[in-house]
């Protein structure tokens, strides 16, 4: 295998641009093979150029060609349940595909704010979803239909075989696991086999011994071998495996398999030969139906052109190679919108000020130090409660120790990012050592040259001591690209006029017209919620103000908090917060992210008491330490002592108790 530590000098850029100039050039090895023919003689030179590229670039170009070949329809369809979701996916074809989400007020709104569709359709349920073998059969049939086939006549492998198509990866799921919506979307949208693996391999937060997950590794290898495609090396054929189901995130490996006495990432241990050499890369999606569908749709349909680079490392020693300036310059040269936070811009005070209102990157790459429940800016330690709220979906690369130790838990950095809407996350389950990560200039060099992000973020065979099974977890679609803006798919096409659901925008307009002096608070709340869903925070805030004038603030306030937060309307947010009776931790975090940088200037006792009542249960000691001096300034040390003592009485967490006790000693 040829060693390719950097690939900026490779001809991928020129190759991709040339392919973009051909009317149907991008269908080489791609979806057009399934539905038509391609002019082989005219493209022979391009095929030879393609074969001269390194395997990782070839892999990315194969995915990119599929992306280029199928038009994206300018709509989002919201399904009320899994059965309707499948019914909608089955409507995809070579003529077009579009995002399908399982309706909710959170992930759907986040996606729509970034995708900005012309049409949003909300469907009625088609009925109940079958279970077990019946669901597995329905998933296989939907997969074939979404690729233009008739499941009564062919299966997916026949479609691929008839067209001499070799898929870049294989998708694995279980009909008994809630992450199947991601599997059907990625298998259909990326033209991959859809396979099923049953068994109990633990849960995402678990640490298990090798024997617990060995059957999964064996089944993965058997599935690859049974596919009939090349898979045993990284040179061609099947190179990725997307596991859409629950499994343990960490595994204890014997020393003979690369173990060092500490846990390794299961995703980095899978797709290996017995000698530890890699034959593939694994991406992992887990969670409920709503989030797994969201993660797949983000990967398939959203661009990754707005990149934030945040560097918490000093420019000295081994940290110097992780400087982000070269990466920032590379990305800007290729048309990405880049925010480079370094030096004073990534000190704690500046970062906390940035968090108020949420952040909007497509790709967030952070250099940090810390543990599972805290991370460092350049000058200070922050906590999981300080993980930013993502206004848009984001892929996250976190160069840091331990952050992905328990990715189901909001008490970890990875868990909090996933909870906030990250659809891909690359981070470590243990202390990996800095050199286990790919330096930013190489990572983004690969990314620019079409290498899928999860593949780009790992050491390749023969390159490095940490190319063996190690500790970096890779969550998300392993074929997800982050290509330059000029390589994105062509303009979207208009949706066909079909009467299979409600037009959400028209419904909202009708609901707004119905808001008269007799409107209830629930009516105001519903309109505000649906305006936020379609990305119209400006109108949602106007309706909130109407609700206030009509004396309906209490019922409308919870729906208004998100739009007010994103608008950075600090004072209005606090007023709405005081009216709201719904105060979950997500909304509490909005309050704290807006107010933490302003605590020193808050003189209003009611606002300070609102914050006192909104201390987050996941880390009360952090909020208490920050708020205590400002409460003491306005209400006195005795008030603070009483409050801190009540917090102590309410917790049995040793770490929380120790921190609050230290704070209490100051008063």
Q: Does position 40 have pLDDT exceeding 60, yes or no?
A: no
Per-residue DSSP letter, 121: E
Same structural domain, 580 and 629: no
Length of the chain, in residues: 667
pLDDT digits 0-9 by tens, 175-196: 999 999 999 999 999 999 999 9
3-state secondary structure of 195: strand
Segment 156-168, tens digit of pLDDT = 999 999 888 999 9
**Angle subtended by helix axes 521-533 and 537-549, to nearest 10:** 170
Can you tell me whether residue 475 is helix, strand or coil? strand
**pLDDT confidence bin for 14, thresholds 50/70/90:** low
Closest C-alpha among 112, 625, 69, 98 to residue 382: 625
Quick one: tokens of 121?
A: 């359709």
Q: Among 567, 594, 621, which residue terminates a domain?
A: 594
How many Cβ atoms from other residues are within 10 Å of residue 600's Cβ?
Answer: 9
Give the Cα-Cα-Cα angle 380, 384, 386 (nearest 5 degrees). 60
Q: Does residue 574 share a domain with residue 536?
A: yes
Question: Do 513 and 585 reside in the same domain of the chain?
Answer: yes
Q: How confident is the model at residue 576 (pLDDT cuts 50, 70, 90)?
A: very high
Quote the percentage of the chain above a pLDDT of 90: 85
Query: Is 563 domain-assigned?
Result: yes
The pLDDT value recorded for residue 16 is: 53
Percent of the chain with pLDDT over 70: 92
**Do 625 and 650 lie in a common domain?**
yes
Point out the least confidently predicted range of 27-31, 285-289, 475-479.
Answer: 27-31
- Quick check: is 557 in a domain? yes
Q: What is the mean pLDDT of residues 507-524?
A: 94
Query: What is the C-alpha separation between 547 and 210, in angstroms, rounded?
Result: 58
For residue 376, list its beta bridge partners: 381
> pTM here?
0.94
Q: Looking at the structure, do residues 630 and 574 belong to the same domain, yes or no? A: no
Q: DSSP secondary structure string, 386-404?
A: GSPPBSS-EEEEEESSSTT
| pLDDT for res 36 | 37
Distance separating alpha carbons of residues 624 and 125, to the nearest angstrom: 46
Per-residue pLDDT tens over the stretch 42-99: 345 566 678 888 999 999 999 999 999 899 999 999 999 999 999 999 999 999 999 9
Asked if the structure places residue 555 within a domain, the reply is: yes
Report the domain count for the chain. 3
Q: Are residues 505 and 586 in the same domain?
A: yes
Tally the C-alpha atoms within 13 A of residue 137's C-alpha that lie toward its C-beta.
6
Same domain as 623, residue 555: no
pLDDT for 6 beyond 50: no
Q: Are residues 520 and 587 in the same domain?
A: yes
Same-domain check for residues 581 and 526: yes
CB 240 within 8 Å of CB 278: no
pLDDT value at residue 489:
87
587-599: average pLDDT = 97
Is it the case that residue 280 has pLDDT exceeding 90? yes
Listed residues 570, 594, 618: the one ending a domain: 594
* Position 626 in a domain: yes
Domain end (from 69, 94, 112): 69
- The verdict on 570 and 541 lying in the same domain is yes
Higher per-residue pLDDT: 650 or 43: 650
Give domain status of residue 359, yes or no.
no
How confident is residue 389, by pLDDT bands cut at 50, 70 and 90? very high
For range 586-602, the mean pLDDT: 96
- Residue 465 inside a domain? The answer is no
Does residue 468 fall inside a structural domain?
no
Q: What is the pLDDT of residue 437?
A: 96
Contact criterion met (CB below 8 Å) for 238 and 230: yes
Evaluate whether 595 touches 623 at the Cβ level (below 8 Å): no
In this predicted structure, the answer to whether residue 22 has a pLDDT above a threshold of 80 is no
Of 126-140, 375-389, 414-428, 459-473, the poorest mean pLDDT is in 459-473
Specify burial of residue 369 (Cβ count, 10 A radius: 0-12, 13-18, 19+).
Answer: middle
Q: Considering only the C-alpha atoms of the chain, give the largest distance between any 2 of them, rounded to a whole number of Å.
A: 85
Q: Report whether 114 contacts 302 (CB < 8 A).
A: yes
Do the domain assignments include residue 197? no
What is the extent of the structural domain holding 573? 501-594
Q: Are residues 617 and 571 in the same domain?
A: no
């Amino acid at each position: 295998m040829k060693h390719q530590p950097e690939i900026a000098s490779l001809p991928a850029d020129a190759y991709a641009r040339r392919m973009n100039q051909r009317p149907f050039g991008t269908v080489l090895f791609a979806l057009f093979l399934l539905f038509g023919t391609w002019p082989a003689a005219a493209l022979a030179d391009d095929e030879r150029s393609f074969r001269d590229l390194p395997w990782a670039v070839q892999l990315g170009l194969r995915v990119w060609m599929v992306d280029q070949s199928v038009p994206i329809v300018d709509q989002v369809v919201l399904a009320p349940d899994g059965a309707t979701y499948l019914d909608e996916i089955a409507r995809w074809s070579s003529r077009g595909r579009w995002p399908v989400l399982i309706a909710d007020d959170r992930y759907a709104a986040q996606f729509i704010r970034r995708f900005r569709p012309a049409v949003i359709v909300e469907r009625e349920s088609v009925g109940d979803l079958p279970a077990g073998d019946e669901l597995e059969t329905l998933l296989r049939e939907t997969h074939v239909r979404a690729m233009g086939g008739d499941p009564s006549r062919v299966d997916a492998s026949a479609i691929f075989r008839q067209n001499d198509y070799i898929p870049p990866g294989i998708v694995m799921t279980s009909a008994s696991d809630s992450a199947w919506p991601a599997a059907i979307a990625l298998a259909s949208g990326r033209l991959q086999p859809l396979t099923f693996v049953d068994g109990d391999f633990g849960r995402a937060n678990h640490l298990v011994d090798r024997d617990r997950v060995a059957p999964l590794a064996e089944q993965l290898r058997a599935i690859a071998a049974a596919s009939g495609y090349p898979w045993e090396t990284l040179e061609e054929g099947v190179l990725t495996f997307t596991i859409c189901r629950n499994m343990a995130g960490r595994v204890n490996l014997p020393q003979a398999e690369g173990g060092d006495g500490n846990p390794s990432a299961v995703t980095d241990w899978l797709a290996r030969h017995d000698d530890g050499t890699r034959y593939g890369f694994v991406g992992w999606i887990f969670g409920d139906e709503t989030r797994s569908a969201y993660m797949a749709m983000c990967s398939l349909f959203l661009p990754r052109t707005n990149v934030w680079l945040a560097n918490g490392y000093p420019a000295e020693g081994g940290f110097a190679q992780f400087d982000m300036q070269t990466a920032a310059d590379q990305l800007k040269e290729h048309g990405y919108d880049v925010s480079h936070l370094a030096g004073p811009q990534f000190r704690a005070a500046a970062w906390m000020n940035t968090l108020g209102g949420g952040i909007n990157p497509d790709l967030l790459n952070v250099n940090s130090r810390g543990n599972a429940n805290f991370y460092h800016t350049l000058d200070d330690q922050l906590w999981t409660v300080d993980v930013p709220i993502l206004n848009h979906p984001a892929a996250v690369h976190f160069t840091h120790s331990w952050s992905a130790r328990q990715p189901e838990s909001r008490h970890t950095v990875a868990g909090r990012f996933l909870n906030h809407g990250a659809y891909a996350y690359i981070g470590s389950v243990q202390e990996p050592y800095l050199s286990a990560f790919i330096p930013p200039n190489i990572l983004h060099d690969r990314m620019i040259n079409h290498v899928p992000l999860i593949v780009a973020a790992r050491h390749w065979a023969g390159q490095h001591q940490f190319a063996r099974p190690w500790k970096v977890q890779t969550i998300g679609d392993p074929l997800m690209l982050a290509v330059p803006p000029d390589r994105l798919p062509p303009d979207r096409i208009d949706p066909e006029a079909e009467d299979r659901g409600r037009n959400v925008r028209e419904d909202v307009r009708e609901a707004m017209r119905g808001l008269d002096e007799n409107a209830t608070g629930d009516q105001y709340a519903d309109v505000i919620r649906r305006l936020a869903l379609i990305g119209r925070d400006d109108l949602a805030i106007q309706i909130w103000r109407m609700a206030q004038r009509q004396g309906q603030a209490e019922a409308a306030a919870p729906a208004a908090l998100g739009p007010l937060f994103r608008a950075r309307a600090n004072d209005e947010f606090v007023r709405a917060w005081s009216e709201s009776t719904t105060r979950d931790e997500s909304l509490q975090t909005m309050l704290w992210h807006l107010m933490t940088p302003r605590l020193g200037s808050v003189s209003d006792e009611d606002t300070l008491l609102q914050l006192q009542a909104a201390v987050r249960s996941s880390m009360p000691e952090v909020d208490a330490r920050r708020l205590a001096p400002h409460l003491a300034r306005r209400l006195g040390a005795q008030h603070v002592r009483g409050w801190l003592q009540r917090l102590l009485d309410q917790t049995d967490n040793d770490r929380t108790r120790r921190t609050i006790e230290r704070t209490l000693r100051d008063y």
